[in-house]
Amino acid sequence: MSPELHGTSSAPDADATARGVYEELRAADGGILDAGALQRRGFSGKLGEAVANDVEGRLQILVGLGLRAELGTEALRRAGAAAARAAASCLTLVIDLTGIDLEGVSPLAVAQATGEGALLASYRFERFRSEEEGPGLAQIALTGLDGAALAEGARRANAVARAVELCRDLVNTPAGSLTPRDFAATAGEVAAAAGLGIEVLEEEGIAGERLGGLAGVAAGSEAPARFVKLHYEPEGAPPFTVALVGKGITFDSGGLSLKPANSMMTMKTDMSGAAAVLGAMSACAALGVGVRVTGYLPITENMPGGAATKPGDVLTIRNGKTIEVLNTDAEGRLVLADALSLAVEDGADAIVDLATLTGACVVALGMEIAGVIGNDDRLISKVRAAAAAAGEALWPLPLPPAYRRHIDSEVADMKNIGTAGQAGALVAALLLEEFVGDVPWVHLDIAGPARSEEDDGYRRKGGTGFGVRTLITLLEGYEPLGGVVQGRAEGIEVLR
């Protein structure tokens, strides 16, 4: 759990107080600093630095804001995180925002960004510990700006942080404690609390709806699959729907194409896409999202049981297309194919899917940047802008039609893997494109940033909740595209 955040026009007594300092060692609030003493302690005001002094039993923390000219909402998130980390042993913290006045950024946005960083950095996952690490921060107060802006900024930061926390909790939970049945039950609890509609398909329903990709991946597991469909429809919503699709493999052994042991160690996180969709939708009502949203969550394990799909088997997806499965460890694209098909049938204006889909994307972009691929430049631009505002790193990858030959099959419409060692992330996306028709669609390959191997800023080791804030930001400002692709984003002109 993370602390509770609130905004107040007058600073309450607290165990710790934090204020900002620019890289030139100028206090944001105009106060006097002992520059020599700070430099001797190695503090220069660079973004994310923090130095604390104990004054009569209370911590006084200075937090680096970096260069004044470069200060923005993402820097404020990182500064809020630094303040919370410096006060981690305290119960209460006040963050003084006096003097933080950014051109083009409202006081509300200043408060929200700072609060998000502080809350996300304070997150802990202690469900399976016999003893807690310590009391930790329980209350964080923002002060130093207009009272109404502080209160609303804090309210919004709480809503966003709780959504990310939900995603992180799901991703961090061991697969033995988060079976597809457990995930669906959690989704039901979240839906009830957040005012969402929910439909859950069990085994018979999955078969009845012809979800052949999901059923094929689930065949080797003793834990039955689930397909969860979530609905958010605010009063007075315009007549279009944004579809969010999340890969929900609660444990990926690789199936009969078994992974090496070391590669399985973090495979409880292979449902990060589904967790991000559930997290984002849990905050829609609290944040006043004004568009209809439908979430599609195909949830299953991928296991090597006696009934498992075998290399060479052919699966029929919901839209009737067939896939030859040559590697059962390329399973995410199979379950997503069914979900994308349903989103198209339901008449989505646009589709965004999130999936820990390919190791190839990690090779290309590392552990902190997600790949973004799509069939419509307008939607790609919207998603990239939302990610930039949310502070989540994306990089565009091409969708070259010439590479479609990589998934040509001898016996089916396509095969589920391409040419070994070549363009794995792009080929996976080309397969997904087969199931979106002419609906604007963006695919986020979050295989890298869905998990962190270390604490860094407001990211915590383990599940990061990547994608939740991008989706929320996208939905809050979404304008319809008309439901038809305009301008395929091929990315590379020389391929024919």
pLDDT in tens, the chain (496 residues): 679 999 987 778 899 999 999 998 999 999 999 999 999 999 999 999 999 999 988 999 999 999 999 999 999 999 999 999 999 999 999 999 999 999 999 999 999 999 999 999 999 998 898 877 777 899 999 999 999 999 999 999 999 999 999 999 999 999 999 999 999 999 999 999 999 999 999 999 999 999 999 999 999 999 999 999 999 999 999 999 999 999 999 999 999 999 999 999 999 999 999 999 999 999 999 999 999 999 999 999 999 999 999 999 999 999 999 999 999 999 999 999 999 999 999 999 999 999 999 999 999 999 999 999 999 999 999 999 999 999 999 999 999 999 999 999 999 999 999 999 999 999 999 999 999 999 999 999 999 999 999 999 999 999 999 999 999 999 999 999 998 998 765 554 444 3
CATH tag, 4-143: 3.40.220.10
Angle at CA of residue 244, ends 243 and 247, nearest 5°: 140
Cα 429 to chain centroid, rounded: 19
- Euclidean distance between CA atoms 230 and 403, whole angstroms: 34
Angular region, 235: left φ>0, alpha ψ -120 to 50, beta rest: beta
Per-residue pLDDT at 1: 66
Q: Which of 248, 255, 251, 249 is nearest to 306 (CA)?
A: 255
Measured CA angle at 189 (ends 116, 160), to 5 deg: 10
Burial annotation 33-63 (CB, 10 A radius, 16+ → b, else e): eeeeebeeeebbbebbbbbbeeeeeebebbb
β-sheet bridge partners, residue 226 = 299
pLDDT, residue 334, reads 98
Q: What is residue 70's three-state secondary structure?
A: helix
For the chain, domain boundaries: 4-143, 166-476
- Active-site positions read 259, 333
Confidence (pLDDT) at 496: 37
Q: Where are the beta strands (DSSP E) in 16-97?
A: 16-22, 26-27, 50-55, 58-66, 92-96
Nearest Cα residue to 234 out of 475, 469, 484, 481: 475
Query: What was the pLDDT predicted at 488?
Result: 64
Q: Is the Cβ–Cβ distance between 37 and 80 less than 8 Å?
A: no
The single residue listed with the structure tokens 């030959």 is 405
Structure tokens at 490: 């091929």
Model-level pTM? 0.96
Cα 116–Cα 371–Cα 289 angle in degrees, nearest 5: 45
For residues 230 and 197, is the Cβ–Cβ distance under 8 A?
A: yes
Which amino acid would we find at residue 50? A
Give me the pLDDT at residue 423, please: 97
Radius of gyration from C-alpha coordinates of the chain: 23
Output the DSSP codes for 272-324: HHHHHHHHHHHTTTTTT--SEEEEEEEEEEE---TTPPPTT-EEE-TTS-EEE
CATH architecture for residues 166-476: 3-Layer(aba) Sandwich (3.40)
CB-CB contact of 267 with 463 (8 Å):
no
Q: Using alpha carbons only, what angle is made at residue 157 by residues 153 and 160, rounded to the nearest 5 degrees?
A: 140
- Compute CA distances 81 → 27, 74, 93, 123, 468, whole Å: 18, 11, 12, 10, 18
Phi-psi region of 316 (alpha: psi -120 to 50; beta: other; left: phi over 0): beta
- Report whether 329 contacts 254 (CB < 8 A): yes
According to DSSP, residue 459 is labeled B
